[in-house]
Amino acid sequence: MSDLATHVAVVRAGALRRAAPALLGYAAVRALGLVALALWSAERGKSWYTLLTARWDSLWYAGVAAGGYGHETLLPNGDVHSDLAFFPLLPWLERLLAAVGPLSYADAGFAVSLFASLAAAWGIFAVADHVCGREAGVAAALLWAVLPVGIVQSMAYSESLFTALAAWALYAVLTGRWVTAGALALMAGLTRPVGLAVVAAVWTAALASFVGDRSATAADGARETGHAPAAAGHATARRLLGMALAPLGAAGYVLWVGHRTGKGPFGYLDVQAGWRNGFDGGYAFARFVADKFTSFPSALAGIGLIAGVAAVIGLYVVGVRQRQPLALLVYSGVVTALALCASSYFGSKPRLLLPAFPLLLPLASALARTRVARAAPIVGGVAVASAVYGAFWLNGSGPP
């Protein structure tokens, strides 16, 4: 083994040891959630594994993996649900795993989510560790695990895969690895429409760094060493390459859908319209909440929705006040705006917010400052509540 390979192996081992508490804690919370789901499902005569792998969007992803794109479902009200609404990276991975092993497409989707969720937890830890310190990194990974709809992280959905790619892309931005950031943003853009948030974060941070570079020229370094202009040129080239790579995934798929449907660049919007998905600035969601106040029992749900939205916005404002890095603010801002202002299924909004993990950093920092003897019961209690709610939710309405 070369000296370089040895150095890389040592660095990776050290990074894994540093993240180990976060990964072990995350795995424990998710295992608790799966146990609760299995017990609740058995009591109701259902298969916990089917709930995770063969219902709702999981079926659409597996269908794309099995036969490619081209399936449509015509609903009685005239809506057309097309599988073109689902971005291709997850079904590609499902097809790959099924081709090289004994897994079904559903099994492959579950395996991808299992490993991607761990990668996401590690990426969340890495970002929070870089910004707020190790203890906050561990807390951030645990908080992401105990979110009320955290069970989605274990489903054959694309949330875990997307969050993993987004988290590591943001970490690459924070550490100046622009080509890596661009490549990961490209893959995130092939995973979910909200890949736009990763692209926006990479571009905004890169442009901000260009502005910063202008105010700190390499003239003094050039006079001393003669190498500063060349080094600056290489850094600029890597930054530009990262920016060029970032939008290719999302743009490529959207343009391909437009070509396939014969409707040009806006063909994907027509596909989404068939699912009654769109961006209306939050008007439909506001009406949905307002309708809850037509009777007393539903008014409680309306109050809860308002409180939840206020909490999300409040956490973002705290992040701004704490001067989170620009890339994190842009990313979480775009994810939040797309989730809250889309006219999609309203029950989907909590899971659409799952990738917005930078919103958790203020809470993670506060938890990191709390004594372990006090923090452990809090996290444990929330983990149990999340596990019970996830089991109840999937055995009921579940994610639309």
pLDDT digits (tens, 9 = 90+) for 294-313: 887 888 888 999 999 999 99
**Domain-embedded: residue 389:** yes
- 158's tokens: 């694309």
Give buried/exposed letters for 28-54 (b at 16+ CB in 10 A, else e). Answer: ebbebbbebbbebbeeeeeebeebbbb
**Domain-embedded: residue 39:** yes
Which of 294, 279, 118, 140 lies closest to 196 in space, CA to CA? 279
Range of the domain at 216: 19-277+372-394
Instruction: Please give the sequence-ordered ranges of beta strands (E in DSSP) within the chain, or none if there are none.
Output: 72-74, 80-82
Q: Exposure of 271 by Cβ count < 10 A (0-12 exposed, 13-18 middle, 19+ buried)?
A: buried
Give the pLDDT score at 381.
96
**Domain-embedded: residue 43:** yes
Whether the per-residue pLDDT at 56 is higher than 80: the answer is yes
**Domain-embedded: residue 365:** no
**CA 183/CA 242 separation, integer angstroms:** 7
Where does the pLDDT of residue 137 fall: very low under 50, low under 70, confident under 90, or very high at 90 and above? very high
**CA 83/CA 166 separation, integer angstroms:** 23
**Domain-embedded: residue 228:** yes
- 91's tokens: 């079904």
pLDDT digits (tens, 9 = 90+) for 28-42: 999 999 999 999 999
**Domain-embedded: residue 12:** no
Q: What are phi and psi of 82, to 5 degrees?
A: -110, 145
- 278's tokens: 């769109």
**Domain-embedded: residue 207:** yes
pLDDT digits (tens, 9 = 90+) for 220-271: 554 454 455 666 778 889 999 999 999 999 999 999 999 999 998 889 999 9
Q: Beta partners for 81?
A: 73
Least confident range of 126-135, 160-169, 211-220: 211-220
Contact between 351 and 399 under an 8 Å Cβ cutoff? The reply is yes
What integer best gives the mean pLDDT of the chain?
A: 91
Q: How long is the chain? A: 400
Least confident range of 108-122, 231-245, 324-338: 231-245
Give the pLDDT score at 111.
97
Q: What are phi and psi of 342, to 5 degrees?
A: -90, 145
Which of 128, 132, 127, 211 lies closest to 169 in space, CA to CA? 127
Contact between 367 and 143 under an 8 Å Cβ cutoff? The reply is yes
Q: Exposure of 270 by Cβ count < 10 A (0-12 exposed, 13-18 middle, 19+ buried)?
A: middle
Tally of domains within the chain: 1
DSSP code of 102?
Answer: S
**Domain-embedded: residue 10:** no
Q: What pTM does this model have?
A: 0.94
Cα angle vertex 166, ends 89, 49, to 5°? 55
